[in-house]
Chains A and B, each alone.
Chain A
C-alpha cells in the first residue's frame, strides 16, 4: 500500500530564512511524487513533481524539492521564505505504472512565515 507522512503539522520560519517542509513516502517500486499548496478556502495548486531524472526538482514560486531514494524522502525547500508563502502544503505519491489511480496525500503541513 502507498502512504505519505508529513511529520510536522506546523512549521514556523522567519521571513528571509530558508524553509523546509518534510515528506517521506512508502510505495512499491518507483514513485511519482508531488507537492501542492492550498490557501484558505481555495483548491490545491500544483507546485512541482518528480517523475524521473534529476533528483533536484524546481517548481513554482521559487520552491524546489529533493528526491532521496535511499531515505524515501521528498522534502520541499525554499532558500528565502516570504510572508506570502504562508499556507497549507501537501505531499502526494503514486507508484510508477499505476496509471490514473488517485494520488495518496499526506495530512498536510501548515507553514507560517513571520515578518
Chain B
C-alpha cells in the first residue's frame, strides 16, 4: 500500500447524498485509476486518468465522477445517481511499464 493513500477508510452515505473519496499518490506516476470491488466479481474499472486534466470512463462509470487537477490527486465522487454504491473502492497508480500500485481502499456503505 505504500505511496498511495485513500481516505476515509470507512464511509457511510445517506440516500440522495453525494460523497467524495480521496486518493493521493507520491510515486510521481502519470496514470491513476479507480476500481470497484464487489464480492465474487473481482475488480471493475470506474474511471482512469493517464495525465493531468484528462480522464476516461471505464466499464461502470455511470453514477460516478472524477477530476484530475493535480498529478498527485484523483478524487472520486459517488453521486446520488449511483443506485447501488455499497462496495469496496480501490485507487491505483502506475509506472510507465504498467505495474499498478494500489491504495488500502475505502469501504462505502449506504444507510
Contacts and interface: CB of A to CB of B under 8 A. Distances in A.
| Interface size bracket, A side | 20 to 34
B31 A100 contact: yes
Interface string B22-35: 00000000110100
A100 B42 contact: no
A107 to B, nearest CB: 4
B50 A43 contact: no
A92 B43 CA distance: 10
B71 interface: no
A42 B104 contact: yes
A23 B21 CA distance: 32
B30 A90 contact: no
B65 to A, nearest CB: 18
Contact of B96 (A41, A100, A108): A100
Given A102-B45, A102-B48, 8 more contacts: A9-B40, A51-B97, A100-B98, A101-B98, A102-B100, A106-B42, A107-B41, A108-B42
